[in-house]
Each structure stands twice: as C-alpha cells, then as structure tokens.
Structure 1
Amino acid sequence: MFHKVWLQDMEEQLNELKANYPNSTVTERAKWQKRFLELKQASHLLLESWAKIEDKMAAISTEFPEIANDEEIEIEEEFWLHESVVRQFRQGQGYYGLTMFREAEGFFADVVEEEPDFLLGRLYLGLSQFQRKDWDPAIHHFQLVAITATQAPFLAFAHHMIGCIRVNQKNEQAAIKAFVQAIEHDKENADAWFNLGASYYRLQQYHDAIPAFYHALALNEHDWEAMYYLSSCYRHHKEWNSVTYWRLASLEKTNHPQVMLSLAHDYEEMGQSDQAIIWYRKLLGHPEHKRAAYHGLAWNYWTQKNAKEADLWVKKGLTLYPNDPDLLFTFMWIKLSEGNTKRAEKAYDTLPEKVKNEPIWQAMKMRISTRAGKFDEVSNMARDLIDQEKPMAQAMGYYHQGRSMLETGKIPEAIEHFQLARRKAIKWKEPLFYEGVCHLLEGRPESTLACWEQLNLT
C-alpha cells in the first residue's frame, strides 16, 4: 500500500536528519532545517487529505446506511463513538506515529473534551504529554484511567505509566507501588517487571530487584538489560560466578561495549588482571571507551609489576587524551612508585586549579609532597581534607597526616591518625598496613601481625 511506502520513506528521511543535523556546519544546518519543514508540510498535507476522505466516507455512510454495519464505530468494549470523534482520534494517532507529540496532543485533547469517558483517547493524551515530559497533566490522565477503568489491560497500562512518571520525578518508592499495581492487573507485563527491578536497584534493594529481573527474563528471554542488571545486583553481593554468567549472557545478546567495560572492572576487583587486560584490549575498538581502555591496560599491567607495558599504555593514552584525569593520575602514581617525584610533580602542575581542589588530587599532591620531604605542606593540606564533610576525604586527610608523621618520626601520633583514617573508611587497607609498620618500628611485632592479618596478604 502507498501509505506504508510513504511512512517508511518518511521515517528514513527523519532518521537521516536526526543523525546528520547535530554535527553539521551552519550552511548544512540551513539545508536540514529546510528539509524538516518540507517533511512537516508533507505530513500535514497527508493528514488533511486523510481527514477529507474520512468526511466523504461519513457522508456516504449517512446517505447509504446499509453500506456500513453501523453509523458509529466501536473502539473499545461497550463504548461507542461518533464518526467525527473517531476521525479526530485517528488524526491524533497519525501525528503520534510521526512523533509530532504537540500536534497529537491537540487532537487527543479535543477527543477527551467531547468524549471524557473514552479511555483510549485519554491514554493517548497522557502518552503525548509524557513524551513531551509534561509530567503533571500526564499523570492526571493516567490516574483518571486507573480509577475509572474496569478492564485489566487499561488498568495495567495506566499504573505502569504512572510508575514511569514517578521514576522521572525521582520518586522511586511511589514508582514501585505503581509497578506492583500494574503487575497485579497483568502478571505477563515484562516491562513492568523490569521497571520494578530497576527501581529496587536504584534504591540499592538488590534482594528485591533480583526476583523482579528473573520475572522479566521469564517473559522475555532476550532482554539483555535485565541480564545486565542481574549481574550488577550480584556484583554488590560479591557473587562473582553469577556476575560473570549474566554479564556474558548479556554480552552475547547485545555485544554492547558497556558490558565489556563492566567485565573488565569485575575481573579487576576479583584480582584477575590477565582477564581484565583481555577485555580492555577489546574496548580499544570502541572509540567512546578508548580512554577507559588505555587507563585499564596501564593500571593492570602495573599491578602485574610490568612497568614497561604500564608506562607504554599510559603514555599512549596521554598522547591521545592529554588532559584525562584517570590517565594523569595513573601516570603520576607510576612515576612516584619509580621514585621519579619530579616527573609526577610536573604532571600535577599541568592540572587546572579547579581540579587541584578535588580531594583525590589533594591526596595525590600530599603523596608527592611527602616523597619530596615537604611535610609542612602535607600537614596543611591534610587539615583541609579533614575539615571536609565526606568521610572518604577525611580518611585521606588522616592517612596523609599519618604518613607525614611517620616520615618525621612521630610514631604514636602517626598510629592515631592511621586508626582515624580506618574509622572513616573501614574497607581501606592502606592505613592498616602503615599502622602495622608503626608498631613494628616501636618493637610490637604482635600488634603488627594483628594489623597485617587483616590485609589477607598472600
């Protein structure tokens, strides 16, 4: 049929416009703007022609009643609409199908004004407003449908859309309530199960999220996003076998580079740097993740004590991305570990002043200053970190204050600061190691052993 060919051609032209317009020159943009206006006029002309045809069909039905089964059309069970309302509704659907949501909203608003009990029209009105991110009027229409509808599909859809709006309004608890209500009316609604799991995940309620994602997968076995979320839930529980299984299952369905990056991070955390390197190498073929790939390769080669490869990859990365903070941080770390304090300090000096004020860079500066013997400078910067609100920033301040005191022979004070750092960041092991060093220097090997046994050194 002609209309199918026209719609396909229109969609292809709009996709081409969407892909090329953002990166076009000023001259090219004028050309794309003209093309868009032409497409818009063409769609208006088609819809106007469609409306005229609908009017003629209505006139013929009136003149010859026997030619049609009824004078009016049944749109939903036990609800009857006049032909003129049907025509407005179909025009609205036409605009909605062309993603012209503002125009569609006007037609659906007229439909609802004439037939306020026509639930399908109200749903489309709410959907048009949802697409335009006009949350308040959209949720009003979905709530009306949820109150007045008697059929399960309408109830399920209305509650699901209420949940989607609550997510956009950052009200996850209300979203969960709405998704649960949607599922009560339609237990086969895979989207509602998925969105329920996603809301639980964002609230860090992973035990509740996991069964929701399993339900989504039972209804749609190809849902790679549900698989990915499942792997992320298991990651928080450190159930690495399940993490890897669902990551790989997700990757098989989509081959998405974000899944590859997650796998690389997983293997890093598991201490399997060889596997992490494999996945970071795969990411080199994806331009949007090249920075992360160079950084990951450099860091994992460094953890393998392969300084030559680590230096090679971090320099390659900095050649392409000279201002990347992760690459710069790794470069400085490597140079400090090599004893090349001057190179590390030179790299630090290239950072913008705004970046230097961030806690992680203040910690790097204190590490550099400690190596350079600038202990007064370290002490002043550590106090600034200790005065911040974030516990991790305070922990870094106490740690570096302790390192400075250790270097200057103030062992009891150093122990106290390493212990304070641990209280602020319980999982951070480095302060525990240096506390053990302090005990060893003071002739308390049993205390050193007690500290280092907690490090799981192998």
Structure 2
Amino acid sequence: MKLEEWFDTLQTKAETIEQKWPQASEHEKLQLADQLFQLRQVSDRVVDLWLQFEEKLSSAIRQIKRLEGQEDGQDEDFAELNGYKHEPHDNGKPEAEGVYAKTGQSSSISAQKELKAALANDGNAAEEHVPASAASMQKQSYLDSHREYEHMFRKGEGFYHLRMYQDARRCFAELLNESPDWESGRLYYGYSLLFCGEKEAALREFRLLSRSASSPVVTAISYNAIGCILAEERQWLEAAQAFKEAVAIKPNQRDAWFNLALCYLEDGYVHEAMETIEKVLDEESQDWEAQMLWLRAARLLQMSDPAAELAPPSGLRLPNRDLDSATLQEMASLYESLGNYHRAQICYHFLTERHPREGLAWHGLAWNTWLIAGTRRALTLMKKAISLAPDQLDFTFSYGWMLLFDGKIEESLAAFRFILLKQRDHRLAQSGMITAYEWMGDILAAKQLAKPFTEDQDPYVRSLGYYHLGRIALAEENWRLAEQYFRRVLPHSDHFREIPIYLQMCAGKLGEPITKSELLYP
C-alpha cells in the first residue's frame, strides 16, 4: 500500500468514528473510543518515527556537505530559507511567501484586501504558512558547537511542522533555557507562541531578535513578524515602519515589500502603495496577489482622480489558466473597473472553460465581449448566460441594454418590461426604461420614472436618478438645471465617469469657468 493510501485509510477510520458517535449506544461509544485511542497511538508512533527520520536525513545532508567541502566555505546568508517556505493552499492557489499569508478576500484585517498575513482569517490561515527548516537557517559551525542540544531543536522543529504548536512551544522553551543564543530556535519559539495565541509574548521574542540577532535574515524576518502583528491591530504607521526596517536589512525580501504596500493602501497612501508593490512585480511577474494589490490601488486612484494616467508596470502579466477561480473572478472585476476589458475578457473566458454551467461566468464574458466588439458577438454569449440562470434578472437587463445600444429600442423595452413584471421595483430595468424613453423623445415618461429615484434611501439609486434627470435636462438644453443635477451625483463612483464631461459641457454653454477640482469632485 502506498503511503498516501495508508494515511487515507486512517483518515477514513477517524471520519467514520466521528459520524457514528452521535447515534452510538454507550457500549458502542466505548468501542469507538477504543478505536480512537488506537488511532492516537498510531499517530504518536508516526510522529516519533518522522522525527527520527528527519534527524537522520539532516545528519546525512550535513555529512555530505562536509565531504564536499561546503561546511564553512560560505555564509549562505541562510539562502536556503529564501524568506519563508509554505505548504500549498488547499484551494489550489499559487503558494504564498512570507509572514503575511496571501489568503484571498476574507481576512481579519480587511475584507477588501488580500493579505500576506499569518494573522489573517482570525488566525486560522497562520497554520498554512510556516518558517522554513530552521536547521538551514543556522550555519553548520553553529550547529556543531551546539550538538548536545540539537535533538531538542529537531524535536521542536518536527512538532512545529506538524502544526503541534503547543508541543513545539514547550520544546523550544526548553532549548532556549539551555541555549538562549540559538537564534533560529528563538524564531521558532516566537512563531509557536504566536500560533498558540500568545501574541504579546511572541511580540517580545520578535523584538528581542530584531535588536540582537546576528543574522540579517533572522533580523529581517523578525521585523516582518512585528509588522504583521501590528497590522493585525490596524496600527498601520507602526507596522509600516517595521516593514521598512525589514527591507532596509534585506532589500530582496519580497514579503516585506508586499506588506509595506498593503499598509500604505490601508492607510490611504495609494500612490505609495502602487510604487512599493511595483518593486515586487518587477522581481516576480507571476505573483498574482501582488498584481491584484496593484490593481486595487489603481482602482482607488482612478476613483479619486479620474484624470490620472495609469501605466501598468512591466511585471503586470496576462492572467493564465493556472489561477484558481476566486483569483480569476476578482482579477476580472478589477480589470473591468479599470476599463481593461480585454484582460477581464480573458479571465472570464478561463472561468467559462472551468465552469461551463456557471451563468455568472458567461455573463461576464458576454458583457466584456460587448464592450470590446459590440452586440453581434456578445448577444449569443448573453443568451447562454440567461439560459443557465433564467432567474437572474440582471442578466436579462444586460441583454436588453445591449439591444438598446444596438438601436433596437422596442426589443429592449420588451426585455425591461419582462423584468418589471417579475420584479416591479427592479431599478436597473427602470433605468433602462428611462434611457429608452429619453432616446425615443418621450421626455415626460422619462422624468416620471426618474424622479422617484431621487427619494430612494440608497445613495447610489439617488445618484442614478439625478444622473438621468441631468441627461434629460441636457436634452432640453436646460444647462443650469442639468449642472445642478450632475453636482448632486455621488462623487468618486465608477458608475458615473461621464459627470466631469457633462459638467464641462454645461460650463461651456453657460460661459462659466470650471476648475479641475470641480471636474474631479462633482
């Protein structure tokens, strides 16, 4: 039996016991408990054997290096460490690096930002991101001089990589009691404390290492860890300073650069965030989370300054099929918000290949295809989306909107009326009706539909109403009224990018000057 199959068998036994327990009689529970005890004995034996194997493997590697003359020939600067090694994500995302674990959209620090944080997702993600073998972090000469304590280190390291953090903490505490200057042991101890929930104690250990460690890598990693803990407390300024210390010591530490950029973004320094994350993109073009961080920063910058010219860095590459679905979906949304419809289209194309029965993916592909190539190529794709999700009225609205801009006003009105029969207060369908009436010259009907929007509780819906009324006033050549309506539209919104143009048009017709700030902040 293969090793994987053997472990699968053990897992199945544990799952079976868990499933049977709620309905089991007292006698059956005793039998199940005995089986659990046997499985625990197997687990403990596996741990012991693994630790022995790890020790023997490390000894063999050490001996071979000595025979090859690599024992003390160079300070590898802990090159084998290379920041942090991580176990693969269960969801198939590209592996992350660093204390800030890249954890997708749901992090404890921000639901809108992906984090390379070991503290993300209320601490659960921390267990997916562990320091590399600390043996590779210590010079061979140091290990040789501490041979009598190496077994303690190996045991703690084994517990740590098995995510048995309480046991690891105990082992490293014993090690440091005997050998307090063992830097990698103290680093492991700090992370063990952190993953056991003892944040303050972990912070003390990292601060001590940041001041006293002889290794620049250990020092930089410690500053990075300090920054992560502070970022979890939303102390952005202090966290950023810690990350700056990390990159000052090790300029090639990509994790700290990523974290620094994230702190800037969270603290509202969008330009600084973009400049910082570009350092990561220049070095590693396939860091998709770094790319998304740049895209998010770019979107925020464009919202605050629609006239800003954004030049994507050279490291911003095209998406590929290897990305997981959640990453592709978010990248598509970010690209679309920035007006990069070709890249959004690529993302949705990959999603339709992976999820051919998912209407949302087909809708995204159809919408961006329409923005690029027009109605003829997009309508078939939109019909596909509607057939897969007939209850998604927004898909039907998109279909009607395409028809409207293709000049098929009656057909588009039919689509909007169909939606309103299903849902009377569907605002998008009503908005489509307003636009159709405006184009048909039925100004009165358009006004009657638009005015209730301005009394809605939703700020976006109110803005949509003012937007429509402003356009109607333009059609009537009532420039002053149009200007007043447009100035009441919600500022900094992706949905009303034409407002500065309309304001400039009104100012020109009225013979009044308009400042740049007025164009940017309607």
* Superposition TM-score tier, normalisation by shorter sequence: 0.5 to 0.7
Match of 2:316 among 233, 247, 265: 247
1:49-448 equivalent positions in 2, closer than 5 A? 83=148, 86-112=150-176, 118-131=182-195, 135-203=199-267, 205-209=269-273, 212-213=276-277, 215-216=279-280, 223=287, 225-226=289-290, 229=293, 242-243=312-313, 245-248=314-317, 251=319, 258=327, 262=331, 266=335, 269=338, 277=345, 280-287=348-355, 291=359, 293-303=361-371, 306-322=374-390, 327-334=395-402, 338-339=409-410, 340-348=412-420, 350=422, 362=427, 364-368=429-433, 373=445, 378-385=450-457, 392=460, 394-402=462-470, 411=478, 414-421=481-488, 424-425=491-492, 428-430=496-498, 446=509
Q: Distance in 2 between matches of 1:208 and 1:195?
A: 12
- Contact 1:228 1:246 (C-alpha < 8 Å) held by counterparts: no
- Contact 1:403 1:414 (C-alpha < 8 Å) held by counterparts: no
Judging by fraction of residues, say which structure has more helix.
Answer: 1
Q: Distance in 2 between matches of 1:375 and 1:36?
A: 72
Q: Distance in 2 between matches of 1:343 and 1:281?
A: 26
Once the two structures are superposed, residues 102-131 of structure 1 have per-residue CA deviations (whole angstroms, 9 ceiling, x without a partner) of 443343345456666654333212212444
Q: SS state of the match for residue 163, structure 2?
A: coil
Q: SS state of the match for residue 197, structure 1?
A: helix
Shift in alpha-carbon separation, 1:325–1:176, aligned structure 2, 3 A: farther
Once the two structures are superposed, residues 3-46 of structure 1 have per-residue CA deviations (whole angstroms, 9 ceiling, x without a partner) of xxx9x947x877x699x99xxxx969749x99998775434124
Structure having the higher Rg? 1
Q: Distance in 2 between matches of 1:218 and 1:433?
A: 36
Q: Distance in 2 between matches of 1:187 and 1:152?
A: 11
Q: Distance in 1 between matches of 2:500 and 2:51?
A: 77
Question: More deviation in 278-287 or 217-226?
Answer: 217-226
Quick one: which amino acid aligns to residue 321 of structure 1?
A
Q: SS state of the match for residue 45, structure 2?
A: helix
Q: Structure 1 residue 178: deviation in Å?
A: 1.0
- Contact 1:421 1:431 (C-alpha < 8 Å) held by counterparts: no
Once the two structures are superposed, residues 129-153 of structure 1 have per-residue CA deviations (whole angstroms, 9 ceiling, x without a partner) of 4445654443233223324434433
Higher relative contact order by CA 8 Å / sep ≥ 6: 1 or 2? 2
Shift in alpha-carbon separation, 1:28–1:296, aligned structure 2, 3 A: farther
Quick one: which amino acid aligns to residue 424 of structure 1?
P
**CA root-mean-square deviation:** 5.5
Quick one: which amino acid aligns to residue 287 of structure 1?
H
- Contact 1:295 1:313 (C-alpha < 8 Å) held by counterparts: yes
- Contact 2:298 2:338 (C-alpha < 8 Å) held by counterparts: no
Task: Give the equivalent residue in structure 1 for 2:45.
Answer: 45
Q: Structure 1 residue 229: deviation in Å?
A: 4.9
Q: Distance in 1 between matches of 2:284 and 2:342?
A: 34
- Identity among equivalent pairs (%): 23
Q: Which runs of 5+ in 1 are unaligned?
A: 1-5, 54-73
Q: SS state of the match for residue 424, structure 1?
A: coil
- Contact 2:416 2:429 (C-alpha < 8 Å) held by counterparts: no
- Contact 2:331 2:347 (C-alpha < 8 Å) held by counterparts: no
Q: Distance in 1 between matches of 2:504 and 2:51?
A: 83
- Contact 2:183 2:209 (C-alpha < 8 Å) held by counterparts: yes
Q: Distance in 1 between matches of 2:492 and 2:276?
A: 33
Once the two structures are superposed, residues 308-360 of structure 1 have per-residue CA deviations (whole angstroms, 9 ceiling, x without a partner) of 54332223113323455763552353466534435324425656x9xx7xxxx
Q: Distance in 2 between matches of 1:331 and 1:110?
A: 68
Q: Distance in 1 between matches of 2:455 and 2:41?
A: 66
Quick one: which amino acid aligns to residue 343 of structure 1?
A
Q: SS state of the match for residue 160, structure 1?
A: helix
Once the two structures are superposed, residues 51-83 of structure 1 have per-residue CA deviations (whole angstroms, 9 ceiling, x without a partner) of 999xxxxxxxxxxxxxxxxxxxx9995998795
Quick one: which amino acid aligns to residue 97 of structure 1?
H
Q: Distance in 2 between matches of 1:17 and 1:288?
A: 34
Q: Structure 1 residue 383: deviation in Å?
A: 1.9
Shift in alpha-carbon separation, 1:78–1:435, aligned structure 2, 3 A: closer
Q: SS state of the match for residue 316, structure 2?
A: helix
Q: Distance in 2 between matches of 1:445 and 1:81?
A: 81
Q: Structure 1 residue 182: deviation in Å?
A: 1.7
Q: Structure 1 residue 159: deviation in Å?
A: 0.9
- Contact 2:240 2:263 (C-alpha < 8 Å) held by counterparts: yes
- Contact 1:179 1:192 (C-alpha < 8 Å) held by counterparts: yes
